[in-house]
Amino acid sequence: MGGVGSGPRSQATAVCLRAGHATSRVTLDGTYGKPGHRRQRYRCVPLNGDAAHRFTEELPREESWTGDCDVCERPVKLRDGPQAARGYQFVARGIAGALKSVGAGSSYMQASRIARERANRMRTDPATGVPRLSNHGQLGGDWVEVFAPVVFEPHRPDDWPATGTLVLDHLPFRVRALNTRGRRIPGGRVVFDVFAAMGYDDRAEPRIWRLEAFPNASAANWSTFLRRLGGQPPRVVCDNHTGMTSAVRALWPSTDLYLCEWHLRHALERLLDAQARAGHATALGTLRPRVEAAFAGAFFWARFVADCRAAGVPALDRWLDVNDPILQSQFARRGFRSVRAANMPLTTGGLEQRLRPIRDAIHPRRYALKNRERTNRLLMLMQLHANGDDSEIAYRKVIRDWLASNGGRPRGDRRSITDPAGAPSLR
């Protein structure tokens, strides 16, 4: 504990929060905490006859890490340093920086280590007193669990976009696995999927609307995902995944469902390549190079289909029986490129591009992510980063306001989101 002393009244700007003490005389009353992490304490002398007492601010301020303000570069007094939650070692600024780092793809271990180093709260060797690095990531994981919903709340949409297009896709994450005979399954098995939705509305740039992890990509889970928000988008673009399209058609029957042209084209190219290797190379030799041009519009597609039918390849005919009517309908609805609005994409490519950094960040830790709710809170931070909403300054303010609304303490306990032993919620 720091020494007790009182300074001039004018230096103490804190206000006692006890009932009837708002106009009491307040003076500085020493500090508490270890050197480098000292926090200001105050003394309240009530004017109503109550006994004098010590108190700390609702969000105690810790002495500055550098002695100067990071923004204006002026010296900062002890009582004017960064604010912290009551009972927390780390200040709101350190938490905000870690959340931004995690959202940008850093692991919990990386974010935790940097937070400890910045705040000079590294553990020391008990024998030598030398600071030692810690690779433990629980600190960052705890902060994501408690504070990710707080910083995400100002950006949380209530409804799906009412104009333009909603693009849907999902990221399957696989791990190594063995079959019933003990042999390795090629490509492993999917242990969870991340569902994603991006809105092309009237804004200049599309935005990730929602990210959520599910144990599998069933129609029931897609229905749950689509019901999370209100409203109904006028148009949806997605690939021809059965669970996805079934949920869209059942929940939003009046929405224009448009299948991604890139996925249809890629499926057709793979089919032509396979049939050429199966002995139809002569019949299909001139068709494969024309696939991309065929998707330019209805006229080019009709000529291409006629030549495909003339080739007499049964597998190709079966594919066209299913997909030719779909493409004819979509070509009629999409209009000419010169008049098509920017919020009317024909593929899921824009969303896939936004999802690449998220996929790359999650892939190395796919074995460790087993708790669904914790994973979804991590995805909140990644969504904010993908949309450019991950401001450390904004995070600090939101965290401080949230803490102040609850007496300076977080609501809920850390590590309260747990799964029963042996029953992970994400796989």
Last residue of a domain, one of 313, 328, 346: 346
Looking at residues 253-270, what average pLDDT do you find? 96
pLDDT single digits (tens) 165-197: 999 999 999 999 888 888 898 888 999 999 999
Asked if residue 2 is part of any domain, the answer here is: yes
Domain that holds residue 77: 1-81
pLDDT single digits (tens) 387-411: 999 999 999 999 999 988 888 888 7
Residue 32: per-residue pLDDT: 86
Asked if residue 181 is part of any domain, the answer here is: no
Residue 153: per-residue pLDDT: 96
Asked if residue 242 is part of any domain, the answer here is: no
Last residue of a domain, one of 311, 346, 381: 346
Looking at residues 309-327, what average pLDDT do you find? 96
pLDDT of 16 higher than 50: yes
Asked if residue 167 is part of any domain, the answer here is: no
pLDDT of 6 higher than 50: no
Question: Which of 134-148, 204-218, 223-237, 264-278 has the least mean pLDDT?
Answer: 134-148
Structural domain count of the chain: 2
Asked if residue 408 is part of any domain, the answer here is: no
Looking at residues 373-396, what average pLDDT do you find? 96
Residue 150: per-residue pLDDT: 95
Asked if residue 275 is part of any domain, the answer here is: yes
| Percentage, residues of the chain above pLDDT 70 | 90
Token digits of residue 305:
């289909």
Strand ranges (DSSP E) for 68-201? 165-175, 189-200
Across the beta sheet with 25-32, the strand order is 25-32, 39-45, 53-55
Q: Quick one: which of 65, 109, 108 has its CA closest to 84?
A: 65
E strand or H helix at 314 = helix 314-334
Measured between alpha carbons, how far is 383 from 330 in angstroms, rounded to an integer?
Answer: 30
Residue 319 pLDDT level (bands cut at 50, 70, 90): very high
Last residue of a domain, one of 29, 53, 81: 81
Residue 270 phi, psi dihedral angles, 5° rounding: -65, -40
pLDDT single digits (tens) 124-173: 667 776 666 666 788 889 999 999 999 999 999 999 999 999 999 999 99
Residue 97 pLDDT level (bands cut at 50, 70, 90): very high
Looking at residues 24-32, what average pLDDT do you find? 88
Residue 305: per-residue pLDDT: 97
Asked if residue 309 is part of any domain, the answer here is: yes
Asked if residue 154 is part of any domain, the answer here is: no
Burial 253-285 (b: 16+ CB within 10 A, else e): eebebbbbbebbbeebeebbeebbeeebeebbe
Distance from the Cα of residue 149 to its chain's centroid: 10
